[in-house]
């Protein structure tokens, strides 16, 4: 049996606290950067409730979406999207410095993870654009498929933003 001095134990505890603090600082700066980028996108609606999102999406076409703060304390954000069954909400999870869609436990390991929320959204918009028309794809086992096709903007974006969208849409390679 070995004994460690109180100084050594204190030093180890101080190191552990320092590492945890750096991880927390790193997460905070990643989230802040992701939120800044998201706010610039024009489709972040902030503190919108699920009911308000449903009202906004009700008379839109399938695949129309917006991003809002999540009402669930374990999640930062939620995608509200119009599906074949009406407006639906899907949480965005942040874990270990990455963003991904929330899903069933056995599906989560297979979901792609992203450094930013905008990257996540752009990826699924791209997939929705390259997938079959939603009307031709039957739902599996009573599940609802969602397509991210067109955002609802909080305000009219600047011309520079529309230019970025046009460039991104004409680019066939996605950041992997």
- Structure confidence at residue 159 (pLDDT): 86
Q: Does 124 have pLDDT greater than 60?
A: yes
Long-range contacts of 143-146 (CB under 8 A, 24+ apart): 144/83, 144/84, 144/85, 144/88, 145/83, 145/84, 146/63, 146/79, 146/81, 146/83, 146/88, 146/90
Instruction: Quote the pTM value.
Output: 0.71
What is the Cα–Cα distance from 75 to 29, expressed in whole angstroms?
A: 17
Question: For the segment 79-117, what is each residue's pLDDT rounded down to a tens digit?
Answer: 999 999 999 999 999 988 999 999 877 777 788 999 999
The more confidently predicted of residues 163 and 140 is: 163
Domains of the chain: 40-170 (3.30.505.10)
pLDDT for 12: 45
């Amino acid at each position: 049996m070995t004994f460690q001095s109180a100084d050594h134990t204190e030093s180890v505890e101080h190191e552990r606290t320092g590492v945890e603090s750096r991880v927390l600082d790193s997460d905070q700066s990643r989230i802040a950067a992701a939120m800044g980028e998201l706010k610039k996108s024009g489709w972040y609606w902030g503190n919108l409730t699920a009911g308000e999102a449903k009202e906004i999406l009700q008379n839109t076409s399938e695949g129309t979406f917006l991003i809002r703060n999540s009402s669930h304390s374990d999640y930062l954000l939620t995608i509200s999207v119009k599906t074949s069954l009406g407006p639906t909400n899907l949480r965005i999870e942040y874990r270990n410095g990455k963003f991904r869609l929330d899903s069933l436990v056995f599906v989560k390991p297979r979901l792609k993870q992203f450094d930013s929320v905008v990257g996540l959204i752009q990826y699924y918009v791209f997939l929705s654009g390259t997938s079959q028309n939603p009307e031709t794809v039957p739902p599996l086992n009573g599940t609802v498929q969602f397509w991210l096709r067109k955002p609802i903007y909080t305000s009219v974006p600047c011309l520079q933003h529309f230019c970025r969208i046009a460039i991104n849409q004409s680019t066939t390679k996605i950041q992997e």
